[in-house]
């Protein structure tokens, strides 16, 4: 049975096409800088936003109309697998991501939850084998259930820690079963509300304990996905421990997790932290820790995690530039952690939204490739830092100077000439690559 009878395979038709169910920029097999677009972009669809999100918000009930609702939670879960793979195949997306609770009902006990996961992942595996579609990453939802009110690994209650460990173990078993390429830890409620009753250092030690158990278990079962921490500064906790890329790198280094852990960076989390997305990608890159991305965008006027589909070409261009400079994103990918707006409640909006996101990233890729080929940013930066290429600058970089020698130099050279950045001109030239 087809869940989307009105929608066929989405093909590339170019910008002249007025078919809403066609790509105007994403041409999977087109070669850009020596690789196909699909190799560069490694798109993934997120199970939670696409299959389980119902359009409700803090002020209103569900709006989404979905034809996969069944008589029982398990029937709905099975229908969802069918519908999900139909979406992936029709979009030509080769990867997907999910939380454990997105795919299977939790039931009345942990045991029942695990049985449900086994049954549904059998179905998912069949579909994967049939279609060649792959698992980019899975994760455990350790934030929705009331037991996680004070966090998961960072909870004050050791039974909650144990429960979380069981979910992570199952997550890794599932990752092995489905050949997951990455495994994500987004610290849902790993943060705190008030320092008055919180031992922050102890809670972070405990998070690191769980991560080390995950590394050890992966080694034991002979399955080593790339582990990823997904930073977010706030929401739901007031203070989230993995605030941003820099904070998460400090955590990774403090607990000696380099080598096993990289970062999964999300655009809307970056803006919540008061950063641009490209800032976060650049920070990760400077640590060789850019693992994967969650593609979306926030609403700058609202300032919370609205998870909109990305439609801003400047943002995707600068993000893709960072990815190109990184030498690609594999084994990570571009996961649409994006949801249709509450008013886009029709089934077909799921396609229109993904097409919009994929086209916006494809456009960003093409613009970023042109910027790279033209050495646009390279030339700008080479010129800007030229004073370190020779003379005193080259000696500073080579470690040949000290405070005394530089004082002697500065006393002779205190009439300093600076150059204008011409930043407005630069931005205007950058626009030429976008439109």
Angle between helices 245-254 and 277-286 (to 10 degrees): 30
Q: How far is residue 157's CA from residue 160's CA, in Å, rounded to a whole number?
A: 5
Which residue, 278 or 294, is less far from ligand XUL as judged by CB?
294
Which residue, 305 or 308, is less far from ligand XUL as judged by CB?
305
- Number of Cβ within a 10 Å radius of residue 37: 23
Asked whether residue 130 is marked as a ligand-binding residue, the answer is no
- Number of Cβ within a 10 Å radius of residue 272: 21
Which residue, 315 or 324, is less far from ligand XUL as judged by CB?
315
Asked whether residue 305 is marked as a ligand-binding residue, the answer is yes
211 neighbors 253 (Cβ within 8 angstroms): no
CB of 46 to ligand XUL, least distance (A): 7
**Active-site amino acid positions:** 99, 102
135 neighbors 128 (Cβ within 8 angstroms): yes
Asked whether residue 269 is marked as a ligand-binding residue, the answer is yes
Binding partner selected for residue 305 from Co ion, ligand XUL, none, CB under the kind-specific 5 to 8 Å limit = ligand XUL
Q: How far is residue 149's CA from residue 257's CA, in Å, rounded to a whole number?
A: 27
Pure H helices in 60-196: 73-91, 100-103, 110-131, 158-178
CB of 294 to ligand XUL, least distance (A): 5
User: ω before 275 within 30° of 0 (cis)?
Assistant: no
Asked whether residue 307 is marked as a ligand-binding residue, the answer is yes
Asked whether residue 294 is marked as a ligand-binding residue, the answer is yes
Which stretches of the chain bind ligand XUL, using CB under 6 A? 99, 139, 184, 186, 230, 232, 266, 294, 305, 337
Distance (Å) of CA 327 to CA 33, 262, 377: 11, 15, 16
CB of 139 to Co ion, least distance (A): 9
CB of 288 to ligand XUL, least distance (A): 22
| Residue 410, C-beta contacts closer than 8 angstroms, at least 6 positions apart | none
Binding partner selected for residue 184 from ligand XUL, Co ion, none, CB under the kind-specific 5 to 8 Å limit = ligand XUL
Nearest residue relative to ligand XUL (C-beta): 186
Binding partner selected for residue 232 from Co ion, ligand XUL, none, CB under the kind-specific 5 to 8 Å limit = ligand XUL
Binding partner selected for residue 174 from ligand XUL, Co ion, none, CB under the kind-specific 5 to 8 Å limit = none
Which stretches of the chain bind Co ion, using CB under 5 A? 266, 294, 337
Asked whether residue 242 is marked as a ligand-binding residue, the answer is no
**How far apart, in Å, do the first and last CA atoms of the chain sit?**
42
Residues that constitute the known binding site: 230, 266, 269, 294, 305, 307, 337
Residues that constitute the known binding site for Mg(2+): 230, 266, 269, 294, 305, 307, 337
């Amino acid at each position: 049975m087809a869940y989307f009878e009105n929608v066929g395979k989405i093909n590339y038709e170019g910008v002249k096409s007025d078919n809403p169910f066609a790509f105007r920029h994403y041409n999977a097999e087109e070669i850009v800088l020596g690789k196909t677009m699909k190799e560069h972009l490694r798109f993934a669809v997120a199970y939670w936003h696409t299959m389980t999100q119902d359009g409700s918000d803090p002020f209103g009930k569900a709006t989404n109309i979905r034809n996969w609702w069944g008589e029982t939670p398990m029937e709905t879960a099975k229908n969802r697998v069918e519908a999900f793979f139909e979406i992936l195949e029709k979009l030509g997306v080769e990867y997907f991501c999910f939380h454990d609770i997105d795919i299977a009902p939790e039931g009345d006990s942990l045991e029942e939850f695990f049985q449900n996961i086994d049954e549904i992942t059998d179905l998912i595996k069949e579909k994967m084998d049939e279609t060649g579609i792959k698992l980019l990453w899975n994760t455990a939802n350790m934030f929705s259930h009331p037991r996680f009110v004070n966090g998961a690994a960072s909870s004050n209650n050791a039974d909650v820690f144990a429960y979380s460990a069981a979910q992570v173990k199952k997550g890794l078993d599932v990752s092995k079963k489905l050949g997951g390429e990455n495994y994500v830890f987004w610290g849902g409620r790993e943060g705190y509300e008030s320092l008055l009753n919180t031992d922050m250092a102890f809670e972070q030690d405990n998070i690191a304990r769980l991560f080390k158990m995950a590394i050890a278990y992966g080694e034991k079962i002979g399955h080593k996905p790339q582990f990823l921490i997904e930073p977010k500064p706030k929401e739901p906790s007031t203070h989230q421990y993995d605030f941003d890329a820099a904070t998460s790198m400090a955590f990774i280094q403090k607990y000696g997790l380099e080598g096993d852990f990289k970062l999964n960076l999300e655009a809307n989390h970056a803006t919540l932290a008061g950063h641009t997305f490209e800032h976060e990608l650049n920070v990760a890159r400077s640590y060789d820790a850019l693992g994967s991305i969650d593609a979306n965008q926030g609403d700058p006027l609202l300032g919370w995690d609205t998870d909109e589909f990305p439609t801003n070409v400047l943002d995707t261009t600068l993000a893709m530039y960072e990815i190109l400079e990184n030498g690609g994103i594999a084994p990570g990918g571009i996961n649409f952690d994006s949801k249709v707006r509450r008013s886009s409640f029709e089934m077909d909006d799921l396609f229109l939204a993904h097409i919009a996101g994929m086209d916006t990233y494809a456009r960003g890729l093409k613009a970023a490739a042109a910027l790279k080929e033209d050495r646009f940013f390279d030339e700008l930066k080479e010129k800007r830092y030229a004073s370190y290429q020779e003379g005193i600058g080259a000696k500073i970089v080579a470690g040949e100077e000290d405070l005394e020698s530089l004082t002697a130099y500065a006393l002779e050279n205190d009439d300093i000439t600076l150059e204008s950045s011409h930043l407005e001109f630069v931005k205007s030239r950058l626009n030429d690559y976008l439109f």
